[in-house]
Structure 1
Amino acid sequence: MPTIREELAALADPAYRDFQARLVPTVEAGRILGVRTPALRRYARELARRRPDEAHAFVAAHLPHATYDEMNLHAELIGLLARTPEEAFCLLEAFLPHVDNWATCDLIRVGALGRDPDATLERIRSWVAPESPEYVVRFGVTTLMSLFLGDAFEPSQLQLVADIDRPEYYVNMARAWYFSYALIRQGEATLPLFEARPPRLDAWTHNKSLQKARESRRVTPEQRAYLQSLKVRA
């Protein structure tokens, strides 16, 4: 019986492998098999449904996995296997410290976290803490963005992201991504953060957030012009 790695290798596309190597420069090219995301997701669903024992054994295995694609499979399986927030926290705490690139980080989508917003928000606070690794912080920010900009939003959550003081590009891009969505979905609470002078965010994150919000089709020409007026000097 083939191993999971062998099954993933059979799904790989060499052209996509080369493309992916350029997209995730923090990953050694030799670790990339080249499985396209739709194929990876289909495989993850089949593994979780038809071979659940094997899926659970895979996410319990020693980390990190040898290949980028196995790490991505693990990221997908967390969302498929976690039935409760507690199960999700356990799987995430084991996995997140081993994530070494933005693409694997952004594949993690865990619906179970939405069942206990209070516990999830407390966990996000620990994920974005100063001592957390780069992609743990990024995951905390993207989880806040995906789960807490709707009914669970509170203005104080903006400060969680504003207070992050990190040099890493992929952390600050996540912060800008979060604030761009917040400007669109929770504009009344978010705009004062960008109207404040002196600016409350570093210039790069401030301006990148405005840029990404302006690029949204949900923004009117008038709103786009106003957001443009809020840019600050770098």
Structure 2
Amino acid sequence: MRAQLEKLAEPTYKAFTEKLVETKYEILGVRIPTLRQLAKDIVRTDWQAFIEQPKTTFEEMMLEGFVIASVNIPVEERFVFIEAFIKKIDNWSLCDSFCSSLKITKKYPQEMWNFLMTLRHESHPFVLRFIIVMMLMYYLSDEWIARVFQELQLIQHDDYYVKMAIAWAISIAFIKQEEKTRHFLQTAVLDDFTFHKALQKIRESRKVSGDVKEELKQWKRVK
């Protein structure tokens, strides 16, 4: 697989990715759409053998995530593969791309939520980020929003990528559920960094009016 990926690699894209992603895995420089197409090919072959192979590159890891997300297996069996995979993640790009690929969540929201709740005890920052990003991508509806807010308050970790994920989740929630998110921001127990980053991300959104952005400037905590 590595040899195939090396043929598809682009030096300029490699340099671009290396500036954005800090990882222990070697970055070759293969674009995401190309990796998604490769994953489709792998799913039609011996995909389990591919998953079991040791991986040293960022692209191989991305492929593994795409395969796990798309292969046709029972949902409970998929959770076994998901849990093993997310514990190998060491960067935001692998995490977030994997989450966006797990469209199966729309079919099994309760089962996925139950699975996410089994991971809450983990201290691995990218397992926690996985939980948060899954919630912001699939669980900001009326049915789930209260539970999402409750869980966001319970996740306590000093890692930058965990805190930024919480801020991101709050900003998306504000766009989708403004009044409920306003109440959450006014009552939630959030550290100053996460609170201010959430406000910043809300103000950066094109979907938020200028008046609201001006109002949120006044919410800044003063020490």
Aligned residues: 221
Greater shift, 171-180 or 31-40, is seen at 31-40
Matched letter for residue 35 of structure 1: V
Structure 2: segments with no counterpart, 5+ residues: none
Match of 2:36 in 1: 41
Match of 1:168 in 2: 159
Q: Percent identity?
A: 33
Match of 2:16 in 1: 19
The answer to whether 1:217 aligns with 2:214 is no
Greater shift, 36-45 or 213-222, is seen at 36-45
Relative to the length of structure 2, the TM-score reads: 0.91
Matched letter for residue 171 of structure 2: S
Relative to the length of structure 1, the TM-score reads: 0.87
The answer to whether 1:92 aligns with 2:82 is yes
Structure 1: segments with no counterpart, 5+ residues: none
Matched letter for residue 46 of structure 2: E
CA RMSD of the aligned region, Å? 1.9
Could you list the per-position Cα deviations for residues 1-54 of structure 1 after superposition, in whole angstroms to 9, with x for gaps in the alignment? Answer: xxx2211111101222122222122335xx111111122122222333xxx223
Match of 2:221 in 1: 232
Matches within 5 A, 1:1-234: 4-27=1-24, 31-48=26-43, 52-59=44-51, 61-63=52-54, 65-108=55-98, 109-129=101-121, 131-196=122-187, 200-233=189-222
Contact 2:140/2:148 (8 A) holds in 1: no
How far apart are residue 174 of structure 1 and its match? 0.6
* Cα distance in 2 between the residues matched to 1:46 and 1:91: 19
How far apart are residue 92 of structure 1 and its match? 0.2
Could you list the per-position Cα deviations for residues 177-213 of structure 1 after superposition, in whole angstroms to 9, with x for gaps in the alignment? Answer: 10111111112221112223xx621011101111111
Matched letter for residue 5 of structure 1: R
Residues 110 and 179 (structure 1), Cα distance of their counterparts in 2 relative to 1, 3 Å cut: same
